[in-house]
Structure 1
Amino acid sequence: MNKLTINSCPLCGGTHLNKKMTCTDFYASGEQFDLFQCGNCSFQFTQGFPVEKEIGKYYETPDYISHSDTKKGMMNELYHLVRMRMLQNKAKLINRTTGKSSGRILDIGTGTGYFAHTMQTKGWTVEAIEKSEQARLFAKNNFNLDVKNEAGLDELSAGSFDVITLWHVMEHLEHLDNTWEQLYELLADNGCLIVAVPNCSSYDAQKYKEFWAAYDVPRHLWHFTPDTMQKFGEKHRFKLINHLPMPFDAFYVSILSEKYKKSTCSLFKGMYAGTIAWLHSLNNEKKSSSIIYVFRKKDYEK
Structure 2
Amino acid sequence: MKDRKCWTEHSGQVLHSQNGFDVIDCECCGFKHIIPLPDEEELREIYKHEYHVKDKPLMLQHQLEDREWLEATNDARLEKLERLLGRTGRILDIGSGNGFFMQQAEKRGWQAKGVEPSDKAAEYASSQGLDVECAVFDRECARKIGTFDVVHLGDVMEHLPDPAGMLDLCYSVLSSGGFIAAGVPNEYTPVQKILHEDMKVRPWWVAPPHHLNYFDRKSLEGLFSRKGFVPVYSEVSFPMELFLLMGRNYLDDPELGRECHAMRKELELNLTKSGNRELLDKLYGCFAEAGLGRTVLVVARKARRPRMIR
TM-score (norm 1): 0.74
Q: Percent identity?
A: 19
**Cα displacement (A) at 1:86:** 1.2
What does 1:144-293 align with in structure 2 at a 5 Å threshold? 144-150=130-136, 151=138, 152-157=141-146, 160-209=147-196, 211-247=202-238, 258-260=249-251, 282-285=286-289, 286-293=291-298
Work out the CA distance in 2 between the residues paired with 1:104 and 1:280.
Answer: 29
Work out the CA distance in 2 between the residues paired with 1:77 and 1:190.
Answer: 35
Work out the CA distance in 2 between the residues paired with 1:87 and 1:250.
Answer: 22
| Structure 1, gaps ≥5 residues long | 10-14, 24-30
Match of 1:71, SS?
A: helix
Match of 1:89, SS?
A: helix
Task: Indicate the residue corresponding to 1:299 in structure 2.
Answer: 304
| Structure 2, gaps ≥5 residues long | 1-5, 268-281, 306-310
Match of 1:129, SS?
A: strand
Task: Indicate the residue corresponding to 1:116 in structure 2.
Answer: 102
Work out the CA distance in 2 between the residues paired with 1:149 and 1:265.
Answer: 35
Task: Indicate the residue corresponding to 2:273 in structure 1.
Answer: none
**Cα displacement (A) at 1:223:** 0.6
Letter of the structure 2 residue corresponding to residue 153 of structure 1: A
Task: Indicate the residue corresponding to 2:270 in structure 1.
Answer: none
Number of residues paired by the alignment?
273
State the superposition RMSD in angstroms: 3.8
**Cα displacement (A) at 1:34:** 2.4
Go from structure 1 to structure 2 and tell me whether the alpha carbon gap of 1:217 and 1:294 turns closer, same or farther (over 3 Å shift).
Answer: same
**Cα displacement (A) at 1:292:** 0.8
Work out the CA distance in 1 between the residues paired with 2:163 and 2:35.
Answer: 14
Work out the CA distance in 2 between the residues paired with 1:136 and 1:253.
Answer: 34
Work out the CA distance in 2 between the residues paired with 1:227 and 1:79.
Answer: 30
**Cα displacement (A) at 1:126:** 1.3
Work out the CA distance in 2 between the residues paired with 1:272 and 1:144.
Answer: 31
Work out the CA distance in 2 between the residues paired with 1:273 and 1:88.
Answer: 17
**Cα displacement (A) at 1:18:** 2.1
Go from structure 1 to structure 2 and tell me whether the alpha carbon gap of 1:138 and 1:39 turns closer, same or farther (over 3 Å shift).
Answer: same
Task: Indicate the residue corresponding to 1:27 in structure 2.
Answer: none
Work out the CA distance in 1 between the residues paired with 2:240 and 2:129.
Answer: 26
TM-score (norm 2): 0.73
